[in-house]
A and B are shown apart, each in its own frame.
Chain A
Amino acid sequence: MIKDFMTNDHRECDNLYAPLEEAISKEDWDRALELYTPFKDAMLHHFAMEEEVLFPKMEEYVGGGEGPIYVMKMEHSQIKSIINSLGEAIEAKDKRKALGYGETFMIMTQQHNMKEEQILYTMAEQLPFDKEEVLKEMKEV
């Protein structure tokens, strides 16, 4: 349930990125700027759902520290910093840089999502908390 919902949200973010990259490669900068904001918002919203609701809930059972959840948060901040660099490159109309950060964003995010989908969300599904409740809270973020 949580796994399906969050996996779906990953795909939706991908779908927002694809046309943005296309606009960059065509050097259609107005369109790129237009697409950048909803893409960035969707990513930040996804991270917020995880960091504000799902992860704290999971930490009640598996503990915090330097474990997997800590690593996921670290990667969020890495991804955020690439998204910002991408935004700067779009504003500077630098196609090469923008596509480079785009590619880096994509691979970084996909391997991050892979870890969550294969491991972390599976883990969440098996922990003894109310999934409906957590899902509801996440949707409210």
Chain B
Amino acid sequence: MFKGVSLDQAPPFEAPLLFFLTAPLFAILAGAALTEALFFQQHIAILHLFSLGFMLNIMFGALLQMLPVVIGVKFQNPKRMAWWVYIPLNTGIALFFISLYFDIALYHPAALLLLLSIGSFALLTLYKLFNAPSNTPTLWAFRLSLISLLIALAMGVFLLTTLKNPPEIFGFVLPMHALFAAFGWIALLIIGVSYQVIPMFYVTTEIDRRVQYMVIWLISGALTLLLLALITLMATDENIVVTFILSATFGFILFLLLNFALFVYAVMTLLRLYNRKRSIKEPSLGFWYVGLFAALAASIYPAAMPFNHFSDNIYAVLFGYGFAISIIYGMLYKIIPFLSWFHISSRGFFDMPNMKEMVDERLLYLHLGLHLLSFALLILYPKAAAPFIIAENILFYINIKKAVKIYFEYKAKKSPFEGFSRQ
């Protein structure tokens, strides 16, 4: 029953690091592309630099790292597997961006590469997640997140390959693709992580398990209804105008429901953080606060705005840049120094710097400030955000440089207890 269970930090640091170090490159590229962007299609291209280029790369790295820790399964050959996913994924993202941004017909190779890399990684991970030894809200959030990712992927491939000759249904699939990606994939993933991590890292009480599950099932339920609506739509041949009005109303109600779940999650988590037992203030906590308040703002925004004043762009910034990306930075600033320290420590060294000595806290706060600035500007005047997006991601590299350097320095040294080491 426990065959193959390993509690080792299986993947060498290089495997997740490869993804972690690639992600900010796409954010920098997005910043640069933002200054010249004119058309809708170019905005979509930039949006995907953040969602695929930044978030998906981080997720892949984090899952490679986390699965052995949280559910005790390990990948056979993590380094090789990392490269096998990494190359098609990132080539796919690059082709996707080029084809949309510059309007060059590379849609099919881009779609194929993304389908293969994301599809195979998500399926493999799902298989492992369904075989996990215990069941928790986090585990369910992860499973449903990856299922949503697969659905969003399928819809995305459809959209990309029919872009130049869109069938009638294109306009229905587009918002659904966005909702599956945003709420299904990204929100469920972050919610799952935070259920696990917030009580442990900040010493807080847990959110009531029933509420934890309610949030997860509310999101998955609303998305399932949307999917069923889409399928019904495809099967029936009604007047397109009537169906459009019906599905817009229905869709908006479900959209409010999704936001209600996000609202509950954000409020509950903010309350936990505010009442945390670990009173210390540190930059990661700041990123969590920004992320959760942005989630709160996003969740209220659709209900607060008169219908015709709702802006997709503002919502996307609140949700993507404010909620998801803030929390990702906060997590990375903990994960990277820790893994560096951990891998060195596991080889028997005692004299390496501790986690806090690997980063300069003042520069982390500077990053938090730059992030808030680019976040605010993206809402008010997007083009002006570009230099700050670029600056904050360059600063990110500067901030983690020491931790990465120390890891490789110690890697070159001989372990003090060679032979005992569990490499």
Name the one of B71, B72, B346 contacting A68, with C-beta atoms under 8 angstroms.
B72
Residues of A within 8 A of B7 (CB): 68, 71-72, 115, 119-120
Alpha-carbon distance between A58 and B6 when the two chains are bound, in angstroms = 15
Residues of A within 8 A of B201 (CB): 106-107, 110
Interface of B: prevailing SS:
loop
Contact A74 B346, CB 8 Å, known A104-B355, A110-B201: yes
Residues of A within 8 A of B120 (CB): none
A67 to B: closest C-beta gap in Å: 8
A4 to B: closest C-beta gap in Å: 13
Alpha-carbon distance between A119 and B135 when the two chains are bound, in angstroms = 10
Alpha-carbon distance between A99 and B346 when the two chains are bound, in angstroms = 21
B70 touching A118, Cβ below 8 Å: yes
Name the one of A18, A100, A104, A119 contacting B72, with C-beta atoms under 8 angstroms.
A119
Residues of A within 8 A of B279 (CB): 18, 21-22, 25
Residues of A within 8 A of B278 (CB): 17-18, 21-22, 106
A119 touching B5, Cβ below 8 Å: yes
Residues of B within 8 A of A122 (CB): 133-134
A120 to B: closest C-beta gap in Å: 7
B71 touching A100, Cβ below 8 Å: no
Residues of A within 8 A of B133 (CB): 118-119, 122-123
Residues of B47-73 at the interface with A, using a CB-CB cut-off of 8 Å, are: 69-72
Alpha-carbon distance between A118 and B72 when the two chains are bound, in angstroms = 8
Q: Give how many B residues have a beta carbon under 8 Å from the other chain's beta carbons.
A: 36
Residues of B within 8 A of A2 (CB): none
Q: Give how many A residues have a beta carbon under 8 Å from the other chain's beta carbons.
A: 40
A121 to B: closest C-beta gap in Å: 9
B71 touching A119, Cβ below 8 Å: yes
Residues of A within 8 A of B2 (CB): 62, 68, 123
B365 within 8 A of A: no
A34 within 8 A of B: no
Name the one of A74, A104, A107 contacting B422, with C-beta atoms under 8 angstroms.
A74
Alpha-carbon distance between A113 and B201 when the two chains are bound, in angstroms = 11
B354 touching A18, Cβ below 8 Å: no
B69 touching A111, Cβ below 8 Å: yes
Alpha-carbon distance between A99 and B354 when the two chains are bound, in angstroms = 9
B69 touching A115, Cβ below 8 Å: yes
- Closest A residue to B334 by CB, please name it: A107
Residues of B within 8 A of A81 (CB): 350
The segment out of B109-117, B313-321, B337-345 that lies at the interface is: B337-345
A15 within 8 A of B: yes
Residue pairs across A and B with Cβ atoms less than 8 A apart, 22 shown, are A21-B278, A22-B278, A68-B7, A68-B72, A71-B7, A96-B357, A97-B354, A97-B357, A100-B355, A103-B356, A104-B355, A107-B338, A108-B338, A108-B345, A110-B200, A111-B338, A115-B69, A115-B70, A118-B71, A118-B133, A119-B5, A123-B5
Further 16 A-B residue pairs, CB within 8 A, beyond A96-B357, A104-B338: A14-B200, A14-B203, A15-B277, A25-B279, A68-B5, A74-B346, A78-B346, A100-B355, A104-B341, A106-B278, A110-B201, A111-B338, A118-B132, A118-B133, A122-B134, A123-B5
Q: Which 8 A-B pairs have the closest CB atoms?
A: A100-B356, A100-B354, A18-B277, A68-B7, A110-B200, A119-B72, A104-B355, A104-B354
Chain B residues engaging chain A, CB cutoff 8 angstroms: 1-2, 5-8, 69-72, 132-134, 136, 196, 200-201, 203, 277-280, 282, 334, 338, 341-342, 345-346, 350, 353-357, 422
Chain A residues engaging chain B, CB cutoff 8 angstroms: 14-15, 17-19, 21-22, 25, 62, 66-68, 71-72, 74, 78, 81-82, 85, 96-97, 99-101, 103-104, 106-108, 110-111, 113-115, 118-120, 122-123, 126
